[in-house]
Amino acid sequence: MLRTDGGNRFELASAGKYVASFQRVGAIYEETITLLSHFARDGDWNAVKEKVFQENLLKKSSSAWIKDILGAVEHRFFARKGPLPSSRQISKFVSSNVSKSSKIQALYQYICDSDPLVERLIAGLVAPLLLKYGTSELTKKTYYEFLGKESESHSELLTWSPSVSGKWQRNFFAFLRASGIMEKKPSLKIRKPVIRIEPLTFFLLGLLQSGLAPVEATEHPSWDLYFLKKPEIERLLVEAQGRGWIYYSRAGDIVVLKPRFPSLEEWLENGLEH
C-alpha cells in the first residue's frame, strides 16, 4: 500500500493483480492537470500537497475526496516505475500551452500503465472492437461478459461487492468519455480518437531517450492503447518531421529515426511550443 502525507491509502497493483482503487476517483483529468502544473512550477510534490489543503487548489469541500485524488495522482505519476517519461517531464508537458485534448491523451497513457485492469480492458475489450470496426457500441452486458472471463484467471474480481463493481463500470465508461473514446451519455458508441502529434512525439522521444532502437520505438506496445495501425503511426511520424521535431525516413525494413533535440527535456523547453 502507498500512503500519502495526508494519510490516504491507495492500493498499488502488484504482479498484474486487479485492484478496485480506480472506482474511487476515475480519470480525474482536470484535477491531475492542476496538480501537475503546480508541480512543474514548484518542483516539490510535498509542497504541492500542502498547498492543496492550505489554498484549496482543487476547489473541493471533502477532505476525503481530496486525499483520494492525491493518492491516485501520486500512484500514477510519482510512485511508479516503468518506461514512461518521468513525473517532471509529464508535468512540464501538461503545463505547456498545448491543447487540452493533447494533455488528456498524454495522461491517458499513465492511467493505463498504472492500473492493470484499465489496461486490460482497453487492450482486450475496447481495442479489438475499434480496430475491427472503427466504431462500435460497448454495452454493460459486453463489459460484464468480458470481466466474467477475466475472473477465471483473476479470482480477486469475484470478491468485489456489487456496489464496487457497479461504480468501477461507471467510472470506466466515464474515463472512456473523458478520453474521447466513448460518446457522451446516453450513447454507448465508442470510436477511434484522433491522436494528436504532441503526445505521440512526447512518448516517442521518451522511448528513444530510454535507449530503444527506432524500430522498437515505432512498434512499441504503447501505441496499441491509442488504437494506432502502422500507416497511422507513419503519418504521425511524417507530421512530427514536418514540425522539425524528428528526422524520419523508411526504405523497406530500414528505418531512420533521429530526434532533432538532444533530449526530451530540450524538446519540452525549446521545441514543443515553438
Number of domains in the chain: 3
64-95 per-position pLDDT tens digit: 999 999 999 999 999 877 789 999 999 999 99
Nearest to 190 by CA among 265, 118, 128: 128
Question: Could you tell me if residue 102 is inside a domain?
Answer: no
Examine the domain organization and report whether 187 and 204 are in the same domain. no
Q: Which domain covers residue 58, as residue numbers?
A: 2-93
Examine the domain organization and report whether 183 and 218 are in the same domain. no
Examine the domain organization and report whether 187 and 121 are in the same domain. yes
CA triple 128-134-140, angle to 5 deg: 60
**Whether this model's pTM surpasses 0.85:** yes
Question: Could you tell me if residue 75 is inside a domain?
Answer: yes
4-58 per-position pLDDT tens digit: 333 333 343 444 789 988 988 999 999 999 999 999 999 999 999 999 999 999 9
Nearest to 118 by CA among 148, 147, 89: 147
